[in-house]
Amino acid sequence: MSIYVMTPRAQTGFAVSIGHIGRFVSNLHLSVRDWNDRRQTRRLLNALSDRELYDIGLTRAEIEGLS
């Protein structure tokens, strides 16, 4: 029976750089996704009538302030 001993290796500068780039791309993707979600929500709310907005407790002036 064989036993393997795994010892952690220190990451090289290249691997760390790739990790930073990957994290940046991931954060950028999340930011764009969140921005688009807010944009679509504002678009849908602006399409509602004043009465429908009143029913959900919003005024038209409050729509742009939603984040």
Give Cα 61 to chain centroid, integer Å: 25
Tokens describing residue 42: 């504002």
* 38 and 65 Cβ atoms separated by less than 8 Å: no
pLDDT at 1 over 70: no
* Predicted local distance difference test score (pLDDT) of residue 2: 74
In angstroms, rounded to a whole number, what is the distance separating the alpha carbons of residues 52 and 46? 10
> What is the rounded average pLDDT of the residues 51-60?
95
Contact 53, 45 (CB under 8 A): yes
56 phi/psi in degrees, rounded to 5: -100, 5
For the chain, give the mean pLDDT.
Answer: 90
Q: Is the pTM of this model over 0.85?
A: no
The average pLDDT across 1-11 equals 74
